[in-house]
Structure 1
Amino acid sequence: MLLSTRGLSKHFDGLQAVTDVDFDLPEGEVRALIGPNGAGKTTLVSMICGRLAPSSGSVHFEGQDITRLPAHKRVCLGIAYTFQITSVFPRLTARENVALAARRHLPKAEVTDAVENALDRVGLQDRIDEDAGNLSYGHQRLLETAMGFVQKPRLLILDEPTQGLADSEIERFKSLINELRQTTTILLIEHNMSVVMELADRVTVLNFGECLAEGTPQEIHENPKVQAAYLGTG
């Protein structure tokens, strides 16, 4: 198992954000994590990537207990995380942003080609020398996705990657995920259910910080508890 959590919980000043989550993600899978706003999705992945320390429970990556490992060391192990709110460097160009991410993990001789390839794959090749702060919100999301996968991670966590994208850009994003899934395990937090249904091998549903259901996209779509809590039917 590439990633596992056991009893993972987080509370903030008495508010229980995540409660006793057991989560297993095998290598090579595209897993969608869905749930209503405030369900605990970002809190959960923040504990997985090391941005938040859990109140209790454990996180294992490739069999290694990484619960107390700082975020930068988890990056070195092969975990890349793109934020729900963009975290690009606005005064650097798109090229420079991706190059910063690439230099941490690639030999110097490979960086230039890797950066240009990454920006081409997300559709930003014509904005390669534009300051990131001048890009639209959707294009900043795409830039951050490029910054994630250029690191060649073992696990790529994408938090709301299609938010702010036009329909044509969403189609390009789906094609990109289908390319990346050949070499990268992907955990996708996503509200766009058509994206989830098309891309995910399996779906995990959080509700009030707890795991409500898990299964194939079709199983989740037909689950009465999920319909009542999230999909708006039932």
Structure 2
Amino acid sequence: MSSALLQTHALGVSFGGVQAVRSVDFNLEEGELRCLIGPNGAGKSTFFKLISGQLRPTRGDVYFRGQPIAGLTTHHIARLGIGIKPQTPSVFDGLDVLENLRLAATCREGRHSARQLAIEVLGRIDLENHAHRLVGDLSHGQRQWVELGMILASRPRLVLLDEPAAGMTQAETNITAALIRDINAEASVIVVEHDMDFIRRIANTITVFHQGGILAEGSFEQVTQDAQVRDAYLGREVVNA
């Protein structure tokens, strides 16, 4: 077995005979930050759902720290040390910011320690002035930051983020990029994203999906200059990426 933190072997899923993801071999090392890109329908979001437990694979294996996790529920996978952020924020709108963070921290800490950790995380997401505001009253970007804070408070080994910058202003996107880098100082990270400018700022390595499989992997510069990637996904826009 590989020493990779997360590994998939021949992972795939089919819907009505259509292979949405086909035989993907993927490795993520400790401390790595990986971005998944590709055109719509390429399989990247489906792959994300397979490794996060939102979908059950038709074939293949997923290993986290050497333990098979294919087919486990999202809740079970999260308890193993994987923080999962789907596209839609999964927060408690009827509770204030601090209480959302405290609840997330109780997964790893006792009651008193959870509150102290929540206060610490509150500063890291720069929402101290909003500690007692209901999350449902916050802006879209702030609600996203609360969820990133909840992930930080659960102290995961691996963080899975599905389009974390979607719908944000440029200023909010800049803060989100910094938060993801902050998370990566403590955990490995996989990000599914479309915004190439955002990816340029956070990515160490990029995996490009196309037609249900991996087309290319490498640094931002390597991927954006790859002729196959330009033809399949980036096109002429790569010149200005």
TM-score (normalised: structure 2) = 0.90
Cα-to-partner distance string for 1:177-226 (whole Å, 9 max, x where unaligned) = 33322221011112221221222111001122211111111100101111
121-130 or 44-53, which moves further after superposition?
Answer: 121-130
In structure 1, what is the Cα distance between the partners aligned to 2:167 and 2:139? 9
Deviation at 1:58, TM superposition (A): 0.5
**Conserved? CA contact 2:55–2:71, under 8 Å:** no
Please tell me whether residue 179 in structure 1 is matched to residue 182 in structure 2: yes
Letter of the 1:42 counterpart = S
Inter-CA distance 101–216: structure 2 relative to 1 (3 Å threshold): same
SS at match of 1:232: helix
| Alignment of structure 1 residues 140-159 onto 2, 5 Å | 140-159=143-162
In structure 2, what is the Cα distance between the partners aligned to 1:228 and 1:114? 47
Cα-to-partner distance string for 1:27-70 (whole Å, 9 max, x where unaligned) = 11110111122322222111112121101110011111122333
| Alignment of structure 1 residues 75-114 onto 2, 5 Å | 75-114=78-117
Please tell me whether residue 41 in structure 1 is matched to residue 21 in structure 2: no
Cα-to-partner distance string for 1:67-99 (whole Å, 9 max, x where unaligned) = 233322221211111011222222222222222
2:198 corresponds to which residue?
A: 195
Structure 1 residue ranges, 4+ long, deviating more than 6 angstroms after superposition: none
Unaligned runs of 5+ in 1: none
The count of aligned residue pairs is: 234
TM-score (normalised: structure 1) = 0.92
Please tell me whether residue 15 in structure 1 is matched to residue 13 in structure 2: no
140-149 or 217-226, which moves further after superposition?
Answer: 140-149
Deviation at 1:3, TM superposition (A): 0.3
In structure 2, what is the Cα distance between the partners aligned to 1:119 and 1:42? 29
Unaligned runs of 5+ in 2: none
1:62 corresponds to which residue?
A: 65
In structure 1, what is the Cα distance between the partners aligned to 2:167 and 2:207? 23
Please tell me whether residue 222 in structure 1 is matched to residue 215 in structure 2: no
In structure 1, what is the Cα distance between the partners aligned to 2:30 and 2:196? 23
1:164 corresponds to which residue?
A: 167
Q: Considering only aligned residues, what root-mean-square deviation do their CA atoms show, in Å?
A: 1.7
Letter of the 1:68 counterpart = G
